[in-house]
Structure 1
Amino acid sequence: MTTGTEAANADANDIELTLATPKREDLAALLVDKDRPPRPGALSASLTFGWRAMLKIKHVPEQLFDVTAFPIMMVLMYAYLFGGALAGSVSAYIQFLLPGILVMSVVMITMYTGVAVNTDIEKGVFDRFRTLPIWRPAPMVGYLLGDLVRYVIASLVMLAVGMVIGYRPHGGPLGILAGLAVLLVFAFSFSWLWTMFGLLLRSEKSVMGVSMMVIFPLTFLSNVFVDPKTMPGWLQAFVDNSPVSHVATAVRELMAGNWPAAHIGWSLGWSAALLTIFGAVTMHLYNQK
């Protein structure tokens, strides 16, 4: 009786295995007869990688610290530290300070793009990206698109804090949007410098170290905190021609309701130069490394 049951079970298993095993012709039809999915376009691929950068924030919300707590600390610290000494009151100084400190903070945040690129390289993620049938710059552009969202968050946080302590943008919503547009274009272009360092240097600590060496003199030797007219002639010449000074002046004047055509032109010119030079070097390193 037991033997008969075992035989029946064995026959049933053989039938199930035969039904579950696909035929060779069926596999060939699936692999050959179907059309290949269309290759994603440059915009689609870039947006996908941008969304990937945003998902990192979802899983590691601590990454929002540098675009929330850091900007608040910068505005309050410099406003109350220098406001009374330089302008007589915080409310008077914040009119000059806020657009400048806004530019400074966003420019400083851009360096984390290079750190993220270097981290993914160390993990081997970029080896997978290079094998995909996508537009080659898409992973890099995606990083920067994701970071643009972080720059917007930081800017809105700083504007909100500034208005609470007395900042009044006389340019209205249009002036604010125009100023932020100039800043975001510059930040996007400036970020390509850090993607280059992220590909070029061996560790994220090296990227951070080099970033600080570039950012600190570039941002502090500018017109972010004070009018350069009080500086020595040689320093004033450097500050007046600094890209950060041009962007800070453009943002400051646009939010005040003016139209500084020369500074806007210089800001966009610097942005185009940074994007052209460091974008090309970044893609060369990405293709060769």
Structure 2
Amino acid sequence: MTAAVLAPRVRPVEGLRQSVSLSWRTLVQIKHNPMELIDFSLQPIMFLLLFTYVFGGAVAGSPGEYLTFALPGLIVQNALFGTLNTGVGLCNDLTKGVFDRLRALPIARWAPLTGRIVADVVKQAWAMALLLGLGAIMGFRVGTSVAGLLGAFGVLLGVVLAFSWISVLVGVLVKEPERVMVFGFAVMFPLTFVSNVFVPTDTMPGWLQAWVNVNPVTIVADAIRGLLVSGPVGSPVTGSLLWALGILVVFGPLSVRAFRRRA
């Protein structure tokens, strides 16, 4: 009997258990390949130090003022770029035949995808905590409350969970892991940089502000700023969650369908 027949008969609860097991498999590999965690650590540290101390004085008058504005946006930017690792890792597993072995087992077809995403969401939580910790050393202070801090983690990880499905779809469709990174530079790079992550929207030309205001990255950055520092919370948080839900509804089924065809 083939896995294609067995997979649909797997109960949802069993599928969730399998997803957790596969997530743990991915996280345990960090012991043997610490570079996976360094990827989620070194780049955000470099971005935070670079933008704060090189551009902070020119943009906001002082590195401290710029840190308060930019850190929430840098957390969002780093998280979205981090989702590319999900697609790269998945493509590597497919290329190396990992899923050929899993296909012989009676597991839910969506479990490997969900397991990979959940593991990377855990790594994203580590990266966010790392940036907040380094930011605190540099002088950043949460200006709201513990509830705001926890809310920021929740909103960001929810958005990361949704955006990861875009990376998963790309990782399944391409044949080489490097193509996922090409997609990142072609799509994620302009999406994150043409936003209010690094500079306030009102400093941009009017025609560009129209795009920046509807850019989902801007909306998520505003939500994280509101939850961590100050400012509107309800509208940007709602917008962020709606974007996340829309992306999940569209790219989740597309990713599972593409995965079934390839694996």
In the superposition, the TM-score normalised over structure 2's length comes to 0.92
Deviation at 1:76, TM superposition (A): 0.7
Runs of at least 5 residues in structure 2 that lack an aligned partner in the other structure:
1-9
Q: Which residue of structure 2 lines up, in the alignment, with residue 10 of structure 1? A: none
Q: Equivalent pairs: percent with the same residue?
A: 40
Q: Which residue of structure 2 lines up, in the alignment, with residue 93 of structure 1? A: 66
Runs of at least 5 residues in structure 1 that lack an aligned partner in the other structure:
1-37
Q: Which residue of structure 1 lines up, in the alignment, with residue 97 of structure 2? A: 124
2:20 counterpart (33, 47, 64): 47
Conservation of the 8 A alpha-carbon contact between 1:199 and 1:282: yes
Q: Which residue of structure 2 lines up, in the alignment, with residue 167 of structure 1? A: 140
Cα distance in structure 1, aligned partners of 2:232 and 2:195: 20
How large is the Cα RMSD of the aligned pairs?
Answer: 1.4
Kindly report structure 1 stretches of 4+ aligned residues shifted beyond 6 Å: none
Q: Which amino acid aligns with 1:263?
A: P
The 5 A counterparts of 1:141-180 are 141-180=114-153
The 5 A counterparts of 1:166-245 are 166-245=139-218
Larger radius of gyration: 1
Q: Which whole-Å deviations, capped at 9, do the CAs of 1:21-49 have from their partners, x for residues lacking one?
A: xxxxxxxxxxxxxxxxx977122011001
Q: Which residue of structure 1 lines up, in the alignment, with residue 234 of structure 2? A: 261
Conservation of the 8 A alpha-carbon contact between 1:172 and 1:257: no
Q: Which amino acid aligns with 1:261?
A: G
Which is bigger in relative contact order (C-alpha 8 A, separation at least 6)? 2
Q: Which residue of structure 1 lines up, in the alignment, with residue 5 of structure 2? A: none
Cα distance in structure 2, aligned partners of 1:241 and 1:93: 23
Q: Which residue of structure 1 lines up, in the alignment, with residue 112 of structure 2? A: 139
Q: Which residue of structure 2 lines up, in the alignment, with residue 67 of structure 1? A: 40
Q: Which whole-Å deviations, capped at 9, do the CAs of 1:116-142 have from their partners, x for residues lacking one?
A: 111111111112222321221000000
Cα distance in structure 2, aligned partners of 1:213 and 1:92: 31
Q: Which residue of structure 2 lines up, in the alignment, with residue 76 of structure 1? A: 49
Cα distance in structure 1, aligned partners of 2:18 and 2:202: 47
Cα distance in structure 2, aligned partners of 1:62 and 1:246: 31
1:110 counterpart (83, 90, 114): 83
